[in-house]
Structure 1
Amino acid sequence: MILRISRQHWQALIDELDDARRQRHLLTYRSLIERLQLPTPAMTTLTAALEHLAMLDAQAGQPLRSALVISQGASRLPRPGFFEHATRLGRFNGAPDGTAAAAWHAAEVARVFDFEFRAPLQ
């Protein structure tokens, strides 16, 4: 997926995720799109940005901040594409739904909450 996001939106995404991390709460895809005021196609842009951020975090040996973004549904998990991308990054191995995904996600969120992200990512 090609990343097409303005520097302003990218920095706003990083800031929103950092704020969520500090407050120890999760964001829904919809709320993040609204907060960032992403232009159409907003979900495609957000997905590409979150995947790019996950790649940067993985390369830096950091927890995946994109784990803080979840679906509105009852599962309270990210969409299956998140788990598929985490698998490609070598971070997750399993089905993108079910107890293994939920357990891994909960552990990754805890890692994000406890990690101090220092270096700004471009």
Structure 2
Amino acid sequence: MSVSISRQHWNALLEALEETRRQRHVLTYRALIERLQLPSPAMQTLTAALEHLAAIDARAERPLRSTLVISQGASRLPRTGFFEYALQLGRFSGPPDGMAAASWHSAEIVRVFEYTYPEEDI
């Protein structure tokens, strides 16, 4: 099944992540879905959009903005699929759960906070 995100939702996603980055915060998947008011299948649409953004950032050798989106569970980490995709992009190595993932995620968040993304990418 292929999912796509509207231009309006894509732009809103980029704006939400930039605002979150400037405030040095993170967002949960649920909060982002609600903020963007994504239609069903919302989680699949958001996942596809975040993976697309991660690929764009990886190609440009920038920190992955999708790192700012986390699960609302106790781990405060993205879902396992995020780490698996970061592994495919060559940005992360190790098991997609546990200390290596948590450590890499923390470091990548700091990189995102400190990086200034080009305006055309916001």
- Structures share fold, TM-score greater than 0.5: yes
Whole-Å separation in 1 of the counterparts to 2:31 and 2:76: 14
Counterpart of 1:36 in structure 2 is: 36
Counterpart of 1:7 in structure 2 is: 7
Q: Percent identity?
A: 67
Read off the aligned partner of 1:41 and give its amino acid letter.
Answer: P
Per the normalisation by structure 1, the TM-score is: 0.96
Counterpart of 1:105 in structure 2 is: 105
Counterpart of 2:90 in structure 1 is: 90
Counterpart of 1:115 in structure 2 is: 115
Counterpart of 1:46 in structure 2 is: 46
Which SS does the other structure have where 2:108 is aligned?
helix
> Is contact 2:50–2:66 with CA below 8 Å preserved after alignment?
yes
Which SS does the other structure have where 2:120 is aligned?
coil
Contiguous gaps of at least 5 residues in structure 1: none
1:118 to 1:3, Cα distance in 2 relative to 1, 3 A: farther
Read off the aligned partner of 1:36 and give its amino acid letter.
Answer: L
Cα drift, residue 3 of structure 1 = 4.8
> Is contact 1:3–1:52 with CA below 8 Å preserved after alignment?
no
Cα drift, residue 95 of structure 1 = 0.7
Contiguous gaps of at least 5 residues in structure 2: none
Moved over 2 A (4+): 119-122
Q: CA RMSD in A?
A: 1.4
> Is contact 1:28–1:71 with CA below 8 Å preserved after alignment?
yes
Whole-Å separation in 1 of the counterparts to 2:100 and 2:118: 30
Work out the number of aligned pairs and report it.
122
